[in-house]
Structure 1
Amino acid sequence: MATYDLIVIGAGPGGYVCAIRAAQLGMKVAVAEGRATLGGTCLNVGCIPSKALLHATHELHEANHNFAKMGLIAETKVDWARMVAYKDEVIGQNTGGIEFLFKKNKIDWLKGYASIPAAGRVAVNGDTHEAKAIVVASGSQASTLPGVTIDEEVVVTSTGALSLKAIPERLVVIGAGVIGLEMGSVYARLGSKVTVVEYLDQITPGMDGEVSKQFQRILAKQGITFVLGTAVQGVERTNAGAVVVHRSRKTETEERLEADVVLVATGRKPYVDGLGLDALGVQMTPRGQIATDARFATSIPGVYAIGDVREGPMLAHKAEDEGVAVAEILAGQHGHVNYGVIPSVIYTTPEVASVGLTEEQLKAEGRAYKVGKFPFLGNGRAKAVFQGEGFVKILADKATDRILGAHLIGPMAGDLIHEVAVAMEFGAAAEDLARTCHAHPTFSEAVREAALACGDGAIHA
């Protein structure tokens, strides 16, 4: 029986980061992972491959719509097989990089799917290993709907959508969240007729309402059709593909949408199958997550949980921060995650990013706040690259000027949001951002202008 200071179950962003940090802190570490490659959902069938396809199709859009405006004359065509191969090459580079980091940090890879037969014990492929601490970082899996059977060929999750045999003529996306809109954007750029079906009356639930409305308008201009406020009753397979049956929540009218491919993007749920948590007596939440305390400890001594299997947003970087925090706690340090400053990003074009509170949340709290906004149309760099749509919105406390949240839709929003996140982490005021010199011409000047708008007003608006 091999003995370790820590065994991590799952080699996704939370698990592998936790393992590396623990090894840096002097622990003997192993990671149990059943996939053929490391990196979990994110690197294999999630964040990384989807960004590769988003990048490729963005370049296609630029070639088809903006090259001629810049005096670049080119003919483009799509080689779908080569695009998928490019995506796979990106996956390989990243997963191989994690394997290198394991070797560098002397982390053992226990190849196989794990279970926890008892506290301090992890079983993998018939072998049992002993550990002073166990961290469950097994991630999540796609959830589906009643009446919808996934086959990953015609009715697919995001996993199947990343490797379709051909570009569909008609794609129906069920769910107007991050995954659905990103993949819908990919195929819309590739020429698919994309229809997004959503139960709620708006896209991107939980997003700042003003950003959500503009985002929908922009995506509609890009050719995506939205059917909101409707409940999917089922998906029927046909010889030609599939039919999505949905019923309006207001009129009760039932309609049928024909599709070559149906993408089910209705969220994700914790993946805990086969871990033996029930037999072990691990307490779960009503939503099927592993219940933990503020130090990530479960109801079983020595067993911890991080990432998508516990409460909070299902984001790779949230899992990473929790992985670092729990490793430091196990090493006797003071690991901590500031859940009020976790950014989220949608990697369409334009990108959408947010951190902190929305206006809707501030109003619900009854908190006095002020808004500073600046349109990218007033940003010289954005106009030069044909991305003047969108804006930066900063929310600050009315009395103290302390930044409470920020919401961006525009070029490089996923990178720009971190300037605000750092400011919030250190309790900065909007004036602190406004008085910080920003290089010209950059997209980040729009952030400074929004901060200025929280005071006397933006310069270029």
Structure 2
Amino acid sequence: MAETTTTTYDVVIIGGGPAGYNGAIRAGQLGLKVACVDKGPTLGGTCLNVGCMPSKALLHASELYDAANHEFATLGIDVSPRLNLPQMMKQKAESVTALTKGVEFLFKKNKVDWVKGAGRIAGPGKVEVTAADGAVTTLEAKNIVIATGSEPSGLPGVAIDQKRIVDSTGALSLPEVPKSLVVIGAGIIGLELGSVWRRLGAQVTVVEFLDRISPGMDAEVAKTFQRSLTKQGMEFKLGMKVTGAAVGKKGVSLTMEPVAGGAAETLEADYVLLAIGRRPYTEGLGLESVGITPDKRGFIETDHWKTSAPGVWAIGDVTLGPMLAHKAEDEAVACIETIAGKAGHVAYGIIPSVVYTTPEVAWVGRTEEELKEAGVVYKVGKFPFTANSRAKINHETEGFVKILADAATDEVLGAHLIGPSVSEMIGEYCVAMEFRAASEDVARTCHPHPTRSEALRQAAMGVEGWTMQA
């Protein structure tokens, strides 16, 4: 195919996910000439198309279905709900389409060129784009930003066919509610998708290599979380190593053995979801053409988003740190502002994490385990949702808020929440920590009554021992 060379861009971004599209929009806002290269049919990357957004659509729908089955009668609403799975999937797809079209609109608004095709670096200042029809275009770039994201990690002996053995993408579009589903991996993705199908009627078993669920989560919160999910009907097999999965006519036979040693076990299931994390998508990007060598796991090392190659930057899941859309967005803004000659900054210690199950779990800053290990003397303030008026009225009293503050300075070092709507509330503590607030600052800030957010204030009061409502 004939090769054409377009105008020189100030910035060419490879990848249209949360790192790429936010970077492109910010570049456009700052008056930079920018192109965003993406091989997908729509913008938004994994997050919008087959990740965060569709999973939240199914979590929301399945929560309402579960509430209709179990809670409505208590509230005096008598209904007999029937599951319409095709419609549930249809509304999920419609929501996703609206979001991806929204990104497209923002590109037009901010004069971003969306170049469709697979991008690869073809030497300093050059990005080669291969379109779906094989046509190749070369873009000239003063700055190249790698924002290609990540893909689900594989496991030897467990071959994904997206029919019986699925990854997170396949688990978002199962054709039926499984009678039984085995989830390999007790991280955020596995627990969220497992809880969707559990609520819709599947018997769910979670198999995890570690002896606990949700690595990275405060240990006390993780214990409470596991107890809650077990009460909802999820079964956990911890400290187990999966050794293989064989697909039969009607399902999957999963073999596993205890990590500590012992007899092997076999689990039969209709479907298996492999959710053991994600790996950076850095293969086939032509990194060698500019002398970049990823580490053995595929991550690109950066210093303030700069790679080892001049004029080449990397942001989001291809770099070290939490693989979260909002971390990618923060890096995108900081990287582009640095390119534009401004000061770019990301507060890596204040990136929140959320699990969108019921109850929700959200945290920011350091855990008790991390503070103990670092020898930091700290105080704890805790408040249970059983004592929160709004939670009580709404019959959602599971969980608590825990605040960790420096014993000497009272600076908030961490916030760990499990309970109703905590994903929406963790932002308050992110702001507090960004301003290096003391727990007393939150404790003496008026919160509206009755709201779940009062639990944040009461827990802060608890740091100095003057919690008033429990």
Q: Compute the TM-score of the two structures, normalised by the length of structure 1.
A: 0.99
Paired residue for 1:456?
A: 465
**How big is each residue's C-alpha offset from its partner over 1:299-320, in whole Å with a ceiling of 9 and x where there is no partner?**
1110000000001000000000
Deviation at 1:281, TM superposition (A): 1.6
Q: Percent identity?
A: 58
Paired residue for 2:297?
A: 287
Q: Distance in 1 between matches of 2:81 and 2:323?
A: 37
* Matched residue SS, 1:71: coil
Give the one of 391, 395, 400 matched to 2:409: 400
Paired residue for 2:123?
A: 118
Structure 1, gaps ≥5 residues long: none
2:87 aligned with 1:78: no
Paired residue for 1:184?
A: 194
Q: Distance in 2 between matches of 1:161 and 1:316?
A: 20
Tell me if structure 2 keeps the 8 A contact 1:247–1:255. yes
Paired residue for 2:323?
A: 314
2:41 aligned with 1:36: yes
Give the one of 278, 290, 304 matched to 1:268: 278
Tell me if structure 1 keeps the 8 A contact 2:381–2:465. no
Tell me if structure 1 keeps the 8 A contact 2:378–2:405. yes
**How big is each residue's C-alpha offset from its partner over 1:382-430, in whole Å with a ceiling of 9 and x where there is no partner?**
1111210100000000011000000000001111111011000000000
Paired residue for 1:357?
A: 366
Alignment of 1:82-231 (within 5 A): 82-125=87-130, 126-231=136-241
Give the one of 221, 224, 237 matched to 2:247: 237
Q: Distance in 1 between matches of 2:184 and 2:216?
A: 17
Q: Distance in 1 between matches of 2:287 and 2:252?
A: 37
Deviation at 1:249, TM superposition (A): 1.8
Tell me if structure 2 keeps the 8 A contact 1:178–1:204. yes
Paired residue for 2:435?
A: 426
Q: Distance in 1 between matches of 2:235 and 2:269?
A: 13
Paired residue for 1:48?
A: 53
Tell me if structure 2 keeps the 8 A contact 1:372–1:451. yes
CA RMSD of superposed structures (Å): 0.7
Runs of 4+ off more than 4 Å: none
Tell me if structure 1 keeps the 8 A contact 2:281–2:298. no
Tell me if structure 2 keeps the 8 A contact 1:114–1:274. no
Q: Distance in 2 between matches of 1:143 and 1:249?
A: 20
Q: Distance in 2 between matches of 1:143 and 1:404?
A: 32
* Matched residue SS, 1:68: coil
Q: Distance in 2 between matches of 1:144 and 1:130?
A: 35
Q: Distance in 1 between matches of 2:375 and 2:270?
A: 48
Deviation at 1:251, TM superposition (A): 4.0
Residue identity opposite 1:453 in structure 2: G
Q: Distance in 2 between matches of 1:161 and 1:192?
A: 13
Q: Distance in 2 between matches of 1:353 and 1:449?
A: 17
* Matched residue SS, 2:403: strand
Q: Distance in 1 between matches of 2:106 and 2:289?
A: 34
Paired residue for 2:310?
A: 301
Q: Distance in 2 between matches of 1:102 and 1:326?
A: 18
**How big is each residue's C-alpha offset from its partner over 1:113-158, in whole Å with a ceiling of 9 and x where there is no partner?**
1000111000002110101101000000000111110111110000
Residue identity opposite 2:363 in structure 1: S
Q: Distance in 1 between matches of 2:58 and 2:330?
A: 26
Structure 2, gaps ≥5 residues long: 131-135
* Matched residue SS, 1:340: helix
Residue identity opposite 1:415 in structure 2: E
Q: Compute the TM-score of the two structures, normalised by the length of structure 2.
A: 0.97
Residue identity opposite 2:163 in structure 1: E
Q: Distance in 2 between matches of 1:48 and 1:240?
A: 30
Q: Distance in 2 between matches of 1:156 and 1:356?
A: 33
Residue identity opposite 1:23 in structure 2: G
Q: Distance in 2 between matches of 1:281 and 1:77?
A: 58
Q: Distance in 2 between matches of 1:119 and 1:278?
A: 11
Tell me if structure 2 keeps the 8 A contact 1:11–1:39. yes
Q: Distance in 1 between matches of 2:242 and 2:290?
A: 37
Structure 1 residues 249-258 or 392-401, which shifts more? 249-258
Residue identity opposite 2:395 in structure 1: F
Tell me if structure 1 keeps the 8 A contact 2:458–2:467. yes
* Matched residue SS, 1:69: coil
Q: Distance in 2 between matches of 1:4 and 1:385?
A: 54
Deviation at 1:240, TM superposition (A): 1.2
Tell me if structure 2 keeps the 8 A contact 1:283–1:298. no
